[in-house]
Structures are given as structure tokens and as C-alpha cells.
Structure 1
């Protein structure tokens, strides 16, 4: 299979994407350990702190945050089924008083300026754009508030053309870690910490659990070309990562808003 024959995820129906990922704990690379590592760089949170988890999916990372930090977390995703599952999981874990999921787009958040102590976004900021998200969300943070996001980034200055041609249609703002840090500073933040997600976040916590979802999905949509193409995209994504993981990966960026302009 070639790059030319693979669609990007943006070319598929949103309902199809939602149904496929509904029964996965995480909708992108990550795990509890990296969520907690990123959280360790954030201080001054109290029981009164307000936290937004943007593009939360079904809330795999949200539950980790809720169990290990004070404050109240409001979660946003455009898929109602994801939010329903998140709220169900919060209730099962007795976290319903700390977590609330709301169906809402990340470009239309319901906060006043200077309202939030922390903005969290694992694997989703690319949907609005890295620079745009940093810039537009900044006004919601208090002075001294934090933003923590994961973003697909180049790990080397040079890389094979095959992986460039594959990644750029999916992530048009792909850049090196240094380039991303420059954009963070340009948007008005002080970079606090940066680290690359380990490969197990992709293999053990994303691609491997996806196998059962693919099987159920293809059984339900047997003979459906669109469903087959969507699964093919996930498999090709895994193939590309296995082949080129030394050149790219998800990176956690933690930054702090220092003042209001």
C-alpha cells in the first residue's frame, strides 16, 4: 500500500470515526504514566482550580487527572457518544463530582477570560491547529496557569521522504521540537517541560488494543469499502510508526502563561 492510496482521517465521516474509537480507552498514543509525568511539572493547583480537558475523547487521560489532582475538570469533545462514555466512566469511578463532559467544539469554549488554571489536550490540538489552539486558548488561562498538550513532532532535523509525505497531510504543522517550542514562546507562554512519549504509548496502549476494535468493526461492516479503508489507514499508520519511529513521535509540551497582554 502506498501513501497515495491512503486517505487521511479527516476524509472519513465523523460518525464512522466515533464508532470505531468508542470502545478504545484512548483515541491516540499515550498512557497513565506520561499523563502523570506531565502533571508533575504543574504546581499551584488547589481544590478551587478549574481545569479544561479539550478534545477529551472517552476520557482515558481525564480519569488519571481527576484521581491525581485537585480541582474540577470540564471536558469537551464534539462526539456525544464519547462524552456519554466519559461521564459513565466518571460515575463508575466515583469521580462525577470532579469531572463533567460536555459536547462542544474546541473552537467554541464557554469560559470567561482568565478563568482556568490548567488546559489539558492530549492528541487533539492538531484538529484546531497547534498555533491557533495555543493562541486562542491562552485568554482563558489565569496568569500563572498552565497548558499541557501532546503533538506529533519530528525528532530529527532530517528524515526519509516517505515518512514526510505520509505525515504532512495528517499533521500540516509538523515541526521539530525546537520549532514547536519557538511557536509556544511566540504565542505568549514560557516553556516549562518537554518530553517524547515512549514507544509503548503507541504500541501497547494504542495500536495493540485497536486490533479487537478493528475485528468487531469489520465484522459489523463486512464488505463496506469505507470501513475497510478506515481500518487500512490504522494499519498503515502502525506500519509507518514501526518503520520510522526514530524520526517522529508524540511529544508532551508543558508551558505557563506569565502575564496578560
Structure 2
């Protein structure tokens, strides 16, 4: 026989909990003449059985039902399903905390956040101390804040000296230049990189060109090229953000942005850049688009991670109209534009094949090359020449 304090100590429950259980009929005491409650060994074992049922995740009501009758199998199966969901949610929470502490990769988390809330993702990265340049590269390249510096060092090593970091050709750019209704006098080349297009436009137009990029190293390469070709007076390199342009409204006849609108989002870029274009001025933009109605599963998965906003040409044309432009001409980039990008990159990766160099950056580039090898044609870059209305 056990007094209530003794029983409470044996099962690790409070006196008030035992009194509540007794009220529910889960245990039964016998009153002595002096008013003390006494409990049998049977009550102790009943409580231990109850605790085992509770350890299985059952509510007190469900436990009581199991004690009073046969097991309710459908109820237990439902509880098991619910527990599995709770465990999965807690595992996701654990994985995120581990990643944020640098114990595992943050890539899945960054990828999910980029798809669900890209603006909040970028703002959060800035609050963590990343510059805009670092944050944008993290969003689109490393996708792991824990490994970002190492990843970018490897990436820069792989692409060092390559002229094209994306599809492009002089023929396509000049075709777009000829499509402008009048020769530009002032032109802003956004996301100019190392300046291949800026130099080309300077050599084939009389425009005064501002070449804007947020990477000072790339602009340094451009300055060397300008000096070698005596174009310093025609092209002005500027290190600044495409999302916060340091210009007065309606500053330029033409804005040129090959392969960089995706950073802001196609619609957002068109809306924001329009502020800096003169009335009846032009915007030239290239963007990756869907060509096939449906991509192969591997290509779909790749672009879902790399560029979730991959859309059709018709969707982009609708956005152009919606943002207050009229499209003068649009066309897919040529096979040569892709060759200018892919062939040197393949050669560089092949040269590293027997090297001891191995990294996530190299694995990502190999994966991209594989996707292009097998699925280019299901998607492609498209160039849009538009005029403000």
C-alpha cells in the first residue's frame, strides 16, 4: 500500500495530478480513518502503463480509452501519422539550425527561400553583413552562406580569363543596335561585366556609354581594354548597383542589359529602369526563356533551382506591354552566342579534369554543362528590343 506522496514519488507525478487521475477513475484510493489515501500495487502498475501509452504520443483521453477497452486501431494510426508529420517538421528545424551554425549545407534552405520570398531572402542576406554584390552572388551562385567565400574563390579560379560568362555574340548585339529607331547619344550598359558589349557598342556607335557593374575587378579589366583601344573618352566604367542607379530620371536614350535582368526579376527590372530612360527611349534586354512547352524532368529540376522564374517568350512580351513599352524586335540568341560561352568553359573544365582541384563550384559548372549538352533547345536566351510609350 502507498500513501499519495509515496505513489507520486515512484511515478514522478505531482500530488495534484494523482488527484486528477483519481477523479477520472484511472486510479482508486482507499481512505483510512485518519483521512489518508492509500493506493494498491495495482494502481502503481496502472499509472506506469498510462505513462507508457503517453510516451507513444497519445493524449490522456486516448490513453483512458485504451485502458478501458481494446486498442482503437484507426485512432492509433491517425496518431502515428500525426507524429510522423511532427517528427519531419522537427527534423527540418534541426537541419536548418545545424546549417545556420555551419554544421551542414544551407543550399536547400536558400533555394526554398529564393523560390518563396526572393526579396526577403536578399534583404535577410544584407542584414547578415553581406554586401549587395556578395548577397547576389550567394543567391545565384554559391547558395550557401557558410561556404560562400570558398565557393567564390573556386569559381573565380575556374572562369579567370574567360571572355564570356554567359551566352552572347557581337552579331546578336549589333543586330539589336541596328533595330533601335535612332542612334543613341547616351547609353547605359547595366551588368557590363568585363565590358565586351560596352566596347562593341562604343566601336559601332557614337554614343557616350556608361558601363555599370558591381564588381570592381571586372571593371578593372574593362579599363585595361579601353586603354588598349583608346576608348577611355567614350566609355565610363562605374561601380554601382543596378537596383539603386545613381542617376537622375530620364538620363539615357538607351539602356542595355544583356543577361542580367533576372537578378532583379524581369518585371521589376523593366519597371525600375524605365525611370532612367528618356521619352521614346529604348531598353535592350536578354533573358533566358522556355522554348519547349515542357522541359525534360532533369532540365526542369535544374532551372527550378537555378532560375525559378523561367518563362515563355509570350509571357515576357506580355510583361513588356504591361510595363509601358512596345516591343520593336525580339529574337533568340544565335548558336554562336552559346558557343562563345560554352566552348571555352568546356575547355577550362576539361583542363581541370586531371587536376587535384575539386569543389562545389566545379561540380555546379559541370552540371550546367551537362544540362546544356542534353537539353539546350528546350530553353534558350532571347533578346528583346523595346521602346517606352
Alpha-carbon RMSD across the aligned residues, in angstroms, is: 2.3
Shift of 1:217: 7.4
> Which residue pairs with 1:101 in the alignment?
237
> Which residue pairs with 2:327 in the alignment?
191
The answer as to whether partners of 2:254 and 2:283 remain within 8 angstroms in 1 is yes
| Equivalent residue runs for 1:1-261 within 5 Å | 9-11=141-143, 12-13=148-149, 15-16=152-153, 17-18=155-156, 20-46=158-184, 49-202=185-338, 204-211=339-346, 213-214=348-349, 222-223=356-357, 225=358, 228-258=359-389
Alpha-carbon spacing, 1:158–1:209, altered in 2? closer, same or farther (3 Å):
same
Shift of 1:51: 0.7
How far apart, in 1, do the equivalents of 2:297 and 2:203 lie?
A: 42
Per-residue CA distance 1:53-101 (angstroms, 9 max, x = gap): 1111101111111111111111111111000001111111111111111
Q: Secondary structure at the match of 1:26?
A: coil
Which has more strand, going by share of residues? 1
The answer as to whether partners of 1:22 and 1:58 remain within 8 angstroms in 2 is no
The answer as to whether partners of 2:250 and 2:278 remain within 8 angstroms in 1 is yes
Note the residue ranges of structure 1 that are not aligned, 5 or more in a row.
none
Which has more helix, going by share of residues? 2
Deviates more, 1:142-151 or 1:19-28: 19-28
Note the residue ranges of structure 2 that are not aligned, 5 or more in a row.
1-107, 112-139
Shift of 1:159: 2.3
Q: Taking structure 2 as the reference length, what is the TM-score of the superposition?
A: 0.59
How far apart, in 2, do the equivalents of 1:185 and 1:41 lie?
A: 18
Deviates more, 1:59-68 or 1:156-165: 156-165
- Higher RCO (Cα < 8 Å, 6 or more apart): 1
How far apart, in 1, do the equivalents of 2:306 and 2:374 lie?
A: 17
How far apart, in 1, do the equivalents of 2:162 and 2:198 lie?
A: 14
Tell me how many residue pairs correspond in the alignment.
Answer: 246
> Which structure has the larger Rg over C-alpha atoms?
2
